[in-house]
Amino acid sequence: MVTIPLDEFGEYDPEECYQCLLQHPAVTSECRCGLCCRGLLIEVLTEDAEREPRIKELGSPLLTPPDESGHRHPVGYILNSREDMACVFLDRATNLCTIHETRPLLCRLFDCDGEGREQLIELGIIQRDE
């Protein structure tokens, strides 16, 4: 079932709608540096895990506080590995994403050649001239 997100005025907000954002053309970065997959916190949505079930297997779930029956429910997943902090789906040898076709929305929209690059510079992950 698709949930239509409404803002506080009950209006439909396409910028908050996962299914709408998924229809945006994916950003294609030319750099292939893999630095965003190695240096950023990769926090993805439960919707991403429904599209790509390996996220549930390899990601670290972010859980709600226990409900009245003591159950905690996933609200998202962290994809950084415990060993080197790079994404668990990054092929370290090639810098390619091993779930490219079904990668999370966050990754589909991250512009490593544009705004995303500025973010990497601001975070000190790369230098301005790299």
Chain contacts with ligand SF4 (rule: CB under 6 A): 37, 42, 79, 87, 89-90, 97, 99, 103-104, 107
> Could you count the other beta carbons within 10 Å of the beta carbon of residue 22?
14
CA angle 63, 91, 40 (to 5 degrees): 50
Query: Which residues lie across from 73 on neighbouring strands?
Result: none
The minimum distance between CB 26 and ligand SF4, in angstroms, equals 10
Task: Return the number of the residue (72 or 100) whose C-beta is nearest ligand SF4.
Answer: 100
The minimum distance between CB 105 and ligand SF4, in angstroms, equals 10
Task: Return the number of the residue (65 or 80) whose C-beta is nearest ligand SF4.
Answer: 80
Task: Return the number of the residue (32 or 72) whose C-beta is nearest ligand SF4.
Answer: 32
The minimum distance between CB 30 and ligand SF4, in angstroms, equals 14
Task: Return the number of the residue (72 or 92) whose C-beta is nearest ligand SF4.
Answer: 92
The minimum distance between CB 9 and ligand SF4, in angstroms, equals 33
Contact by Cβ (8 Å): 77, 44: yes
* End-to-end Cα, the chain, rounded Å: 44
**Structure token digits, residue 99:** 């779930």
Q: What are phi and psi of 61, to 5 degrees?
A: -70, 140
